[in-house]
Amino acid sequence: MLTVGLTGGIGAGKSEVSRLLASYGALLIDADRIAREVVEPGTPGLAAVVDAFGPDILTPEGTLDRPRLGAIVFSDPDRLATLNGIVHPLVRARSAELQSAAGPDAVVVHDVPLLTENGLAPLHDLVVVVDASPGTQLDRLVRLRGMTESEARARMAAQATREQRLAIADLVIDNDGPLEALEPQVRTVWAELTRRAAAR
């Protein structure tokens, strides 16, 4: 088994790369999706978040009110640390459970947006970084995701720098160009990953 950490800045195109890798046969473990699952209604995770932040962070339907919780934690580092202290261990446990079900020759790709920021590179056999210039990221966030320029810049500034991400990369996928230039690169990376998995 080969475990791969996949990361990239917001708007770099990491989601498209993870989709392609999964289509080639990678077992994809999506940290963001798991983070949503572990706080669904009826879970111990949601109960712990309500204990920490109060019932006001629930919608009338009993689901987590993400915008309201975000407004609380993103302006207060201590509250954010509290939330991460609840959610991150649950995400790690579920990720480990999914990985343990993989076959011995599997390529397991962990899609982790904050891999660089949280110092998670050593947990993986290698790290793949999807790279795009800040100008390309900004253009995609404004044009494709409808963010204002200031909103996009703030989201980018809250993440690791391009240099910090590239410093932990074993393999880099350059996604500054059009979508059709991406697929051949991802296929080349996939060939390298399967070669390394077989060599183990």
* Domain range summary for the chain, segments of one domain joined by +: 2-199
Determine if the pTM surpasses 0.85: yes
Distance CA 130, CA 169 (A): 9
| 3-class secondary-structure state, position 110 | strand
**Tens place of pLDDT for every residue, the chain, 200 residues?**
999 999 999 999 999 999 999 999 999 999 999 999 999 999 999 999 999 999 999 999 999 999 899 888 877 889 989 999 999 999 999 999 999 999 888 999 999 988 999 899 999 999 999 999 999 999 999 999 998 998 888 889 888 999 999 999 999 999 999 889 999 999 999 999 999 999 88
Report which of 7, 28, 170 is spatially closest to residue 106, judged by C-alpha positions. Answer: 28
Which overall architecture, per CATH, does domain 2-199 show?
3-Layer(aba) Sandwich (3.40)
Task: Let me know: does 107 contact 27? Beta carbons within 8 Å.
Answer: yes
